[in-house]
């Protein structure tokens, strides 16, 4: 009998959300006006009492102790109402679509926008009343749009943005050449040239490797579509048409995207064959720490992992105490915005005008499961977790770039820089439509081929000029299109 009741409640919830959040014809919106959308009917403002809500957070937040602080603060605030938040104690890459309907998923989950919107598409997520949140006005439209879905002309918000994920350049200050101020700072702005320009980064990578064959400058796996596609976007490429809402138009070869492919190819020539597969992505933490690599790119949420590895390396290599090593690591590990690119797409062109680097990004946020038995308590938790104080605390403890403008301004530094880049449109957010799942494999295949080409004999090279790179990108778009249409 109890099971029947649960089944009835679940069916009702699913039916409610089916009319509200996502669907076969779900489309993200491009409205410039701030729209919060309608929340699910289950959010009636009546807090469920004496309930325990299971919250799925990301591993870094748990590891660094932020999550404990968050739930402790929430539980203290809501103890009179009998609402308690606990760690869902599940893998961060859970499968809500399979586990949720049987009651084994979390009530609140913290995930990237593409994951949340994938769940929204399957009606596993409740639409939220975004206007009720105090962060509503503080978060830019670009970030809100990442969680928007339109069904039958009505707009819904399926997640609350918390932090912006975008590729950042990581480098070690203590690995800069001793004479960098005289030899690598042409504009005398006290910022090394290789941090400001990919052309200079390329020059430095070549020079560093020539001086010591075991050392490299910039290193990154090219096969990673998330990081590599930014080079295409910088020269006019894009993901889908109509502001990333129309998967029938695939734009990775648009504009002069082939120039971005050429830049990647030149950068790969200063690396080694590890750039073809995932090796560099995996070993960058330890290789940056042991000095083999000077710089790499990654997302801000792994800053603490880089820092831990560097601290450990200082302890081992220089015999420093843990405290001294940590202090030295904090001084020398720098996370900053991506360098600029030459407009000609040729890293050896010294006279080219510099253009801003664009990149693919994402927004992580909170969402409420459709299968929760306490939706109003969950909503209160999300409001609490996205409040000014908690997001600020999160930014301080985890080094994330907050989606809230007020916190980004308060935290300053890289966080503010990312926020500005998002607002300026230099961070292209992963589209929140299901077709996004089809871009990764064809994209990876092209970038692997491009990286391999660098290490092929001259008579076997496939990408000898911009025209052949354009053809390669067009072929990749064709494959993506076929994958999307086949699975429709």
Residues of this chain that interact with another protein (CB under 8 A) are 59, 62-63, 89-91, 94, 99, 102, 104, 282-283, 285-287, 290, 305, 309, 312-313, 316
**CB 371 → another protein: shortest distance, Å?**
13
Measured distance CA(232)–CA(359) in Å, rounded: 9
With respect to another protein, which residue has the nearer C-beta, 51 or 56? Answer: 56
Query: Is residue 248 helix, strand or coil?
Result: strand
Closest separation in Å from C-beta 64 to another protein: 9
Contact 215, 287 (CB under 8 A): no
Nearer to another protein, 96 or 160 (CB): 96
Compute the distance between CA of residue 382 and CA of residue 314 in angstroms, rounded to an integer. Answer: 40
CA-based nearest residue to 439, from 382, 387, 477, 399: 477
Closest to another protein by CB, 258 vs 309, is 309
Q: If you ran DSSP here, which 8-state letter would residue 127 be given?
A: -
Smaller CB distance to another protein: residue 90 or 352? 90
Q: Which residue has the tokens 């976007």?
A: 233
For another protein, which is the closer residue by CB, 278 or 389? 278
Nearest residue (CB) to another protein, 212 versus 242: 212
Contact between residue 220 and residue 273 where contact means Cβ atoms under 8 Å apart: no
In the bound complex, what is the minimum distance in angstroms from residue 89's beta carbon to another protein? 5
Report in angstroms how near the CB of residue 472 gets to another protein at its nearest: 29
* Cα 149 to Cα 29: distance, rounded to the nearest angstrom: 7
Q: How far is CA 62 from the centre of its chain?
A: 18
Nearer to another protein, 115 or 435 (CB): 115
* Cα 461 from Cα 450, distance rounded (Å): 9
> By C-beta, is 283 or 336 nearer to another protein?
283
Task: Please state the closest distance from residue 103 (CB atom) to another protein, in A.
Answer: 8
Report helix, strand or coil for 323.
helix
Beta bridge partners of 163: 364, 402
CB within 8 Å of 487: residues ≥ 6 apart: 438
The residues, ordered by sequence, that sit 6+ positions from 192 with a Cβ below 8 Å of its Cβ are 176, 180, 184, 185, 200
Q: How far apart are CA 361 and CA 365, in angstroms?
A: 13
**Residue nearer to another protein on the CB measure, 7 or 487:** 7
Whole-number minimum distance, CB 285 to another protein, in Å? 6
**Smallest separation, CB 86 to another protein (Å):** 11
Q: Quote the strand ranges of 321-358, DSSP E.
A: 333-336, 341-342, 354-355
Report in angstroms how near the CB of residue 66 gets to another protein at its nearest. 12
**Cβ of residue 239: shortest distance to another protein, in angstroms?**
26
Q: Report phi then psi at 460, rounded to 5.
A: -105, 0
């Amino acid at each position: 009998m109890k099971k029947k009741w649960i089944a009835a409640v679940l069916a009702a919830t699913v039916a409610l959300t089916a009319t509200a959040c996502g669907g076969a014809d779900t489309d993200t919106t491009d409205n410039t006006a701030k729209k919060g959308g309608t929340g699910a009917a289950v959010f009636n403002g009546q807090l469920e009492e004496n309930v325990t809500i299971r919250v799925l957070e990301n591993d870094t937040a748990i590891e660094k102790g932020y999550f404990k602080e968050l739930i402790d603060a929430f539980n203290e605030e809501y103890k009179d109402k009998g609402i308690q938040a606990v760690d869902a104690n599940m893998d961060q890459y859970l499968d809500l679509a399979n586990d949720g309907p049987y009651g084994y998923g979390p009530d609140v989950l913290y995930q990237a926008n593409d994951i949340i919107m994938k769940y929204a598409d399957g009606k596993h997520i409740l639409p939220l009343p975004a206007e009720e949140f105090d962060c509503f006005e503080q978060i830019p439209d670009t970030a809100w749009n990442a969680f928007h879905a339109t069904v039958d002309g009505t707009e819904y918000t399926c997640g609350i943005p918390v932090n912006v994920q975008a590729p950042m350049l990581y480098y070690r200050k203590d690995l800069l050449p001793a004479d960098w101020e005289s030899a690598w700072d042409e504009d005398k702005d006290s910022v090394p040239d290789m941090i400001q320009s990919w052309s200079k980064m390329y020059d430095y990578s070549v020079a560093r490797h020539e001086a010591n064959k075991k050392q490299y400058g910039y290193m990154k796996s090219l096969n990673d579509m998330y990081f590599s596609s930014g080079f295409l976007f910088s020269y006019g490429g894009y993901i889908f048409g109509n502001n990333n809402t129309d998967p029938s138009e695939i734009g990775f070869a648009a504009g002069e995207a082939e120039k971005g492919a050429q830049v990647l190819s030149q950068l790969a020539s200063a690396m080694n064959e590890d750039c073809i597969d995932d090796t560099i992505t995996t070993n960058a933490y330890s290789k940056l720490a042991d000095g083999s690599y000077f710089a790499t790119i990654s997302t801000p949420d792994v800053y603490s992992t880089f820092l831990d590895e560097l601290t450990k390396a200082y302890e081992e290599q220089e015999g420093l105490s843990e405290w001294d090593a940590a202090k030295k690591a904090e001084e020398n590990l720098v996370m900053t915005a991506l360098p600029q690119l030459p407009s000609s797409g040729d890293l050896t062109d010294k006279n080219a005008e510099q253009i801003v680097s664009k990149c693919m990004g994402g927004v992580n946020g909170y969402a409420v499961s459709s299968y929760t038995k306490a939706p109003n308590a969950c909503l209160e938790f999300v409001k609490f977790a996205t409040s000014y104080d908690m997001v600020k605390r999160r930014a301080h403890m985890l080094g994330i770039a907050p989606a809230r403008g007020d916190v980004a301004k308060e935290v300053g530094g890289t966080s503010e820089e990312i926020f500005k880049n998002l607002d300026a449109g230099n961070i292209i957010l992963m589209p929140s439509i299901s077709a996004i799942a089809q871009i990764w494999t064809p994209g990876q295949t092209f970038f692997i081929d491009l990286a391999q080409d660098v290490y092929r004999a001259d008579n076997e090279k496939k990408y000898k000029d911009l025209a052949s790179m354009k053809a390669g990108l067009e072929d990749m778009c064709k494959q993506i299109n076929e994958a999307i249409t086949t699975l429709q």
